[in-house]
């Protein structure tokens, strides 16, 4: 070994020992008669002292050092002089008094300084990712990711799960997003697909008798990206046999409690709270509500119908909804310009506008719209909204879907700007009983709300034939701080029900046989009741790390245009390679 200790290891008990450290030059300070260098590795930093008594030759050699040079230094460990200890560093009470220096590799002037306090722009960070990954913040996040995944694996091992790898090259199946396709050289004109999830394989494993499967799985989806999405991602994937939805959720409850204690040193009260999809949409306007704060949505459609305010009355008459929220003691926080900006936010989510009222002493309502409410409506509105002087009331009148989107957007904005929650706090909950199907806006037909293999609730089976829109699924999403951190379902294990669901999704018998014949066959050979879930590891790490950008939780992420700025992927390939794959590029 080149080194005897790491740069984060030395303490007062090492004083007097001769040690060798190796790492990167983080900073250096030339005081004329002596040189001080902070040497860094992923374990920490240690101050190195090149003093005159070590010899002029060593001092001159040390003066050639620059940021990010890789060196090995041998010397004796000593206490720092009185009054110079740096208690912010674990190694801050000691220093290494150098006796020899070996340059292992020099460095060009780096375009970004890993030790700098200011974070450079993301494009620069991604282009020089190998430098960005030296930053202590990135190293802490990736070490946190390691701990989270290890804790997950240990937890499931204790509960009898077997980790089984599933193929990366499979068959293209409709699962909600575009597949990444891989052309086959051996089979001209045919393609593999990279997995969007191991869904079908893990169901096959249940049929095969491996009743508790788990995998840290790489998945791929060719879809439009956002700050919290990547084209390739990692999920904690699991499946269980002979279970109902409660069993799967209880297993994940235990996992989240284990993670909260192990990673954050905070106990988590179990069971995690649950609400139905319908309740989440009615109370919060979203199927993944952030429950760290209140601001619940309130329906006032009946009051709107009795009011004289035109926008309220006409919406109620048209069968639409008038809903709002009460931002406690927020009236003084928003000037007229600020209220106009809130209205613009509502419009960005499809609303025609925003009606607002300040609650004043009395209590009374103050707003250009207040005089048009009509007799007695203001008092009833204040009572319905449980409003107090100083509160700010915000309302949207439109379809149920638009009121959900606009008020959810406003609620999320207000929660952040009014600082209604502690940033480092995690709130975990479940949303259950999702609709089985949603309408496809283009075709008007049905699409699967989760995926085509989701089982309906037993009490809703008859609705598959009579009223699919009312059918509820045995589906459940884990929600953390307003993010969907995981989603799962109880699967269909009866081939006739699977065929019926395929039919509703427009997949006829021939297509079903072509795409999923192996699954339909397997379901007829003693398939047990089974279900599972997948947790987004990248997103879980982001939330536990208190970050808001998923790219900061991945060693080598893609941009929002699905490019790798460091390797410049995707790139062109040689014409010979395309010829071997029987592929022609059409532009």
Specify the pTM: 0.93
Sequence ranges of the domains in the chain = 12-105, 129-271+528-587, 293-417
Tens of pLDDT, residues 427-486: 999 999 999 999 888 888 999 988 899 999 999 999 999 999 999 999 999 999 999 999
Query: How many CB atoms are located within 10 Å of the residue 578 CB?
Result: 14
Fold classified for 12-105: OB fold (Dihydrolipoamide Acetyltransferase, E2P) (2.40.50)
Spatial CB neighbours of 109, under 8 Å, sequence gap ≥ 6: 66, 67
Q: Decide: 583 and 573 in contact? Cβ < 8 Å.
A: no
User: What pLDDT is recorded for position 182?
Assistant: 96
Task: Please name the residue ranges forming H helices in 128-273.
Answer: 129-132, 136-158, 199-207, 245-264
User: What pLDDT is recorded for position 176?
Assistant: 65
Tens of pLDDT, residues 162-197: 999 999 999 887 656 889 999 999 999 999 999 999
Dihedral sign (CA 441, 443, 444, 447):
negative
Burial class (CB in 10 A: 0-12, 13-18, 19+), 209: exposed
Q: Which CATH superfamily is domain 129-271+528-587 in?
A: Bira Bifunctional Protein; Domain 2 (3.30.930.10)
Which CATH number does 293-417 carry? 3.30.1360.30
User: What pLDDT is recorded for position 172?
Assistant: 87
Whether omega before 363 lies within 30 degrees of 0, making that bond cis, reads yes
Residues lower than pLDDT 70 in the chain:
174-176, 225-228
CA distance 245 to 489: 7
User: What pLDDT is recorded for position 174?
Assistant: 63
């Amino acid at each position: 070994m080149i080194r005897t200790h790491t740069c984060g290891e030395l303490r007062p008990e090492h004083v007097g020992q001769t040690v060798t450290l190796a790492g990167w030059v983080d900073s250096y300070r030339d005081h004329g008669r002596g040189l001080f260098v902070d040497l860094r590795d992923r374990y920490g930093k240690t101050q190195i002292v090149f003093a005159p008594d070590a010899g002029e030759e060593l001092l001159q050699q040390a003066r050639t050092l620059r940021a990010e040079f890789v060196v090995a230094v041998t010397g004796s460990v000593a206490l720092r002089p009185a009054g110079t200890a740096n208690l912010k560093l674990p190694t801050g009470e000691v220093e290494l008094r150098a006796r020899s220096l070996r340059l292992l590799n020099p460095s060009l002037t780096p375009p970004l300084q890993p030790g700098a306090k200011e974070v450079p722009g993301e494009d620069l960070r991604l282009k020089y990712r190998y430098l960005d990954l030296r930053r202590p913040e990135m190293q802490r996040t990736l070490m946190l990711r390691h701990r989270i995944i290890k804790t997950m694996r240990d937890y499931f091992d204790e509960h009898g799960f077997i980790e089984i790898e599933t193929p990366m090259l499979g068959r293209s199946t409709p699962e909600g997003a575009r597949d990444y396709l891989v052309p086959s050289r051996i089979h001209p004109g045919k393609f593999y697909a990279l997995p969007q999830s191991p869904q079908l394989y893990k169901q096959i494993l249940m049929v095969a008798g491996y009743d508790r499967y788990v995998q840290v799985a790489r998945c791929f989806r060719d879809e439009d990206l956002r700050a919290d999405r990547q084209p390739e991602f990692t999920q904690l994937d699991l499946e269980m046999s002979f279970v109902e939805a409660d069993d799967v959720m209880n297993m994940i409850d235990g996992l989240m409690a284990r993670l909260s204690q192990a990673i954050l040193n905070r106990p988590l009260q179990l069971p995690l709270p649950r609400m139905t999809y319908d309740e989440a949409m009615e109370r919060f306007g979203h199927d993944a509500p952030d429950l760290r704060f209140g601001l619940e949505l309130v329906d006032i459609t009946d009051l709107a119908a009795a009011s004289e305010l035109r926008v309220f009355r006409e919406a109620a008459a048209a069968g639409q909804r008038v809903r709002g929220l009460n931002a406690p003691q927020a009236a003084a926080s928003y000037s007229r310009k600020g209220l106009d900006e809130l209205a613009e936010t509502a419009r960005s989510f499809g609303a025609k506008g925003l009606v607002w009222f300040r609650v004043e002493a009395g209590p009374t309502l103050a707003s250009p719209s207040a005089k048009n409410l009509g007799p007695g409506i203001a008092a009833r509105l204040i009572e319905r909204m449980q409003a107090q002087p100083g509160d700010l009331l915000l309302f949207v009148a439109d379809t149920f879907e638009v009121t959900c989107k606009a008020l959810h957007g406003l609620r999320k904005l207000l929660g952040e700007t009014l600082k209604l929650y502690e940033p480092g706090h995690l709130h975990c909950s479940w949303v259950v009983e999702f609709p089985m199907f949603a309408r496809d806006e283009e075709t008007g037909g049905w699409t699967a709300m989760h995926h085509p293999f989701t089982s309906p609730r037993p009490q809703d089976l008859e609705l598959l034939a009579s009223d699919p829109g009312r059918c509820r699924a045995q589906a459940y999403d884990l929600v953390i701080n307003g993010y969907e951190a995981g989603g799962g379902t109880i699967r269909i294990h009866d081939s006739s029900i699977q065929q019926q669901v395929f039919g509703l999704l427009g997949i006829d018998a021939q297509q079903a046989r072509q795409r999923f014949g192996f699954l339909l066959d397997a379901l007829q050979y003693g398939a047990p009741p089974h279900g599972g879930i997948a947790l987004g590891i990248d997103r879980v790490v982001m939330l536990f790390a208190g970050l808001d950008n998923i790219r900061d939780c991945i060693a080598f992420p893609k941009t929002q245009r699905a490019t790798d700025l460091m390797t410049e992927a995707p790139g062109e390939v040689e014409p010979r390679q395309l010829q071997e794959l029987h592929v022609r590029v059409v532009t």
